[in-house]
Amino acid sequence: YQMIDKASKPLAGVRILDLTHMLSGPYGSMILADLGAETIKVEPLQGEGTRKLLANDPKNSLDGMGAYYITLNRNKKSIALNLKDANGLGIFHELVAEADVVISNFGAGVPERLGIDYATLSEINPRIITCTVTGFGSDGPNPNRPAFDQVAQATGGGMSITGADPDHPVRSGIPIGDLGGGMFAVMGILAALVERSTSGRGQHVDISMLDCQISMLNYMATMYFLSGRDPFPIGNSHFVHVPYNTFHTADGFIVIAVITDNFWHNLKEVVDCEEFADPKYDTQPGRWEDREMINRRLDEVLRQNSSDYWLQKLQEKRIPCAPVNRFSQALSDEQVRYRNMVIELKHPNGHSTRGPGNPIKLSRTKAETFAAAPTLGQDTDAVLNGILGYDETRIAELKERGAVG
């Protein structure tokens, strides 16, 4: 049983027991695994539910492993453990004694019922850090409501400002409710690890997906408290800057963000539009007053040539702009590829596809490797023998009893 080279990745030497499923928890533990934490995925004997998502969809799977699972579980080990069996739970508790972190995203109250909550596990290992990602947190008046991505987005207010108008709220195309929970879980776990280096004690990290959505409202929440007014969706435009929007071109869409008067003057040199010469528009108040006309005329002018043509002209004048890329374009962008943000996702049988890389880039401990997502129970024997010292006979007995798989 081989440990990761401690010098190769920043979290090498940290051992995580990963009880997560679906998206929010697995995304957080994926980031930690990418950064080198020895991440042991603890699954029920039938496997966690994400294994089945898209597994039989020929367009979105690789040899029976769906896009969700093959992406979210790279760099992890898998052991199959029956936590509802006394022997299986006992094994888990033994592993906790040798671990640093336990992360889960069960519903509120489930860790306590299973005997895997912080109060229980800290008696076994006072240095253990536990992290739960739930919809609404572990306390308060309403923590037990079921929650998935769209529930978090809707409850957190973000959907009310997304879309073209107040009558048609739209969720974010990226599942930011789930992904936000996973990202903040990583921050909380890393903070607890740093604090433990001083105190010598673990603690519980309580992540609420709703809390994360509220945090990401950021300055807009402060604007609400100052003004007393609910904001409303304004499509891709801005509540201050003009022009700041998405515009048609002859072959697609681009965005232009004129956030200073100097950018406006440069824009007038790029686009030939008689109306823009009015000195009234040389400052933001004038542009804001006639924003509908400016956006309409700019859209009409830009439709006369291609996205590449306009982007080159705009970039020459250092005007903030960008193509509205489809996935095929974003994932082939030379900057994205240079920074290793498209990586090979392997299947245990040797086949592979591609997926997104790790966005955290470090200057010294910068090794990036991506091992295949594991088959169910692939590492059960190695973990039980290498960490707990179980011999083949004992492991076979535990499999016979249905405690492990």
Would you please indicate which residues are annotated as catalytic (active-site) residues? 178
Which residue type occupies 127? R
Nearby residues of 337 by Cβ (< 8 Å), 6 or more positions away: none
- For residue 87 the two structure tokens come to 């022997």
**Residue whose tokens read 């290793």:** 340
Q: Mark residue 402 as left, alpha or beta (left: phi above 0; alpha: psi -120 to 50; beta: remaining).
A: left
CA 36 to chain CA mean position, Å = 17
Strands (DSSP E) along 105-186, which ranges?
129-134
- Cβ neighbours of residue 353 closer than 8 Å, sequence gap 6 or more: 62, 70, 344, 345, 347
User: What whole-number distance in Å separates Cα of residue 270 and Cα of residue 267?
Assistant: 5
Beta-bridge partner residues of 206: 132
Q: Which strands make up the sheet holding 204-208, listed edge to edge?
A: 76-80, 38-43, 15-18, 101-104, 129-134, 204-208
The contacts of residue 174 (CB under 8 Å, 6+ apart) are none
Q: How many angstroms from the chain centroid is the CA of residue 208? A: 14
74 touches 372 (CB < 8 A):
yes
The span from the CA of 120 to the CA of 93, in Å, is 9
Q: Residue 287: enclosing H or E segment and its boundaries?
A: helix 284-289
